[in-house]
Structure 1
Amino acid sequence: MVYNANEARYESMKYNRVGRSGLKLPAISLGLWHNFGGVNQYENGREMITKAFDLGITHFDLANNYGPPAGSAEEMFGKVLKNDLSPYRDELIISSKAGYQMWPGPYGEWGSRKYLISSADQSLKRLGLDYVDIFYSHRFDPETPLEETMMALDHLVRSGKALYVGVSNYTAEQTAEAVSILKALGTPMLIHQPSYSLLNRWIEGGLQDVLDDSGVGSIAFCPLAQGLLTNKYLHGIPDDSRAKSSSVFLNEENVTPETLRKVHALNQIAVARGQSLAQFALAWVLRGGKVTSALIGASRVSQIEENVKALENLDFTNEELARVETILGSHGDN
């Protein structure tokens, strides 16, 4: 079936300027970290991607190692792009990253110029693109001079392989230094991608101030805390949940009675606002406009539809915010 995008796709989505740049991102972006790899059903992934675009989600976030197997999420998205979204390429923001292990040997991970540029070339081939809109250093490399990593990002922009660059998982201090280096090179840092949610508020300890002062945008990954901030855990830990799996990101040890108590209390606020817990959690991440976009994952179309409805109520009363602080404590969990 030939895909034709929804003509009303821009009517309800909210778009936020990325720092002090000329670029805007949708308040909700779609990440392809899970459920879009070679082990997943292609048609389900295609339906999620096209439905997201129909809802005004123009930003699709990938990385070289997304799958499994590594690289397969980019290949899958490249196929959807070729078959369905190619007429809309200039309406899309497509990002990729490099930093985690991608191939054997000393040049297959971290932040060397050798690895970043080679990885970008491979990502472009898998995606079937001449350039990505945003390319990230996926993690800080403690053994490579930061100047080398940032010079590689600058090269990708100057060679036309990326329009903008950013970093992910960098501390406040590392980000400030990276911002300074890129500014001197003449390729400003566009965006930082940190983990951030009601249950993980580490960016409030300095990173957010660095981004605000530097005019750098932010896109929060795991805003639903690997599914903890959805209705999935309101009645215990389901057998088919990530917490019951062998995931290194969420397991039964993380899902403590105290955490579940907080989740239940937060859900009471969500219900009073007429939102699902997931909608409430996304709205909270986007509160006040400091975070440019919340990066969601999905395993089915209905989750994307539900999450986008969070944008219908992004306003919080002082009483609601105070109740959140009472439930979580001043900084939430780390």
Structure 2
Amino acid sequence: MLATDDLHAPKGESATFDLSTYLTQQQALVEAALDSSLPVTYPEKIYEAMRYSLLAGGKRLRPILCLASCELAGGTVEMAMPTACALEMVHTMSLIHDDLPAMDNDDYRRGKLTNHKVYGEDIAILAGDGLLTYAFEFIASNTQNVSAARVLQVIAQLAKAVGAAGLVGGQVVDLESEGKPDIQEETLNFIHTHKTGALLEACVVCGAILAGAESETLQRMSRYAQNIGLAFQIVDDILDITATQEELGKTAGKDIQAQKATYPRLWGLEESKVKAQQLIDAAKGELATFGEKANPLIAIADFITTRTH
């Protein structure tokens, strides 16, 4: 769950929009939908492992971004919720697999023991696989009041975002870059526009697709998402250095220990903060034409650079 301090609106945010209330309300809707999305059946162990990580808390920014973009484009929370849940299932899969000994090898996630520490590596791998495949089934089987063509477009968008052309490809280059002292900005950008940014972009774009957004709106939403995605990762890199394990909910300083290519390592802390803010400003600029309807997405962009975990 979001800590109270993390829910306060960033300085300078319009007094007409209360980010704290918005995130709290949307997060409650997402949590309830996720809880009901995955009942336990036989074999119980795999469903329990899937639920353990899916319901472990977190900011739920990805599903909330999907809901917000759908509403901005004229849609409803109801039509977007199955996709929002699916996005969190996919994100949870990526966390389970990322924490495995063969990958980032972490013992804690969201303040709890990682999946493989509770259920073993074999079940953790299968829990991730189960969440990934169920995500697509859940979109196809539960989306209502949306044309089949739009649902198919959403499924294609999400599949590309998490495959070798997206998250998986970024993870591969990230692993290959560990311990190499001469990683260039171009490579680092590739890693994070794919490993982190592609899924964030899918969250925003899928919500707009479900609402039937026109091409120009989709392009603006895509650029917004690409900018906040890269800013999100820069802030993640900064927090790995500056935050405690209690704040992060996972082991702090992992990037340094693994000799990972990070933005602070490339630019330094202060320059990294400047570049993250520049990306957020550019993201908000993409939404300027939407007026008050864009307030949630604009406020979430600001939140990315002010968060503490």
Structure ranking higher in helix proportion: 2
The higher-RCO structure (CA 8 Å, 6+ apart) is 2
Structure ranking higher in strand proportion: 1
Give TM-score, length-normalised by structure 2.
0.30
Give TM-score, length-normalised by structure 1.
0.29
Indicate the structure (1 or 2) with the bigger Cα radius of gyration: 1
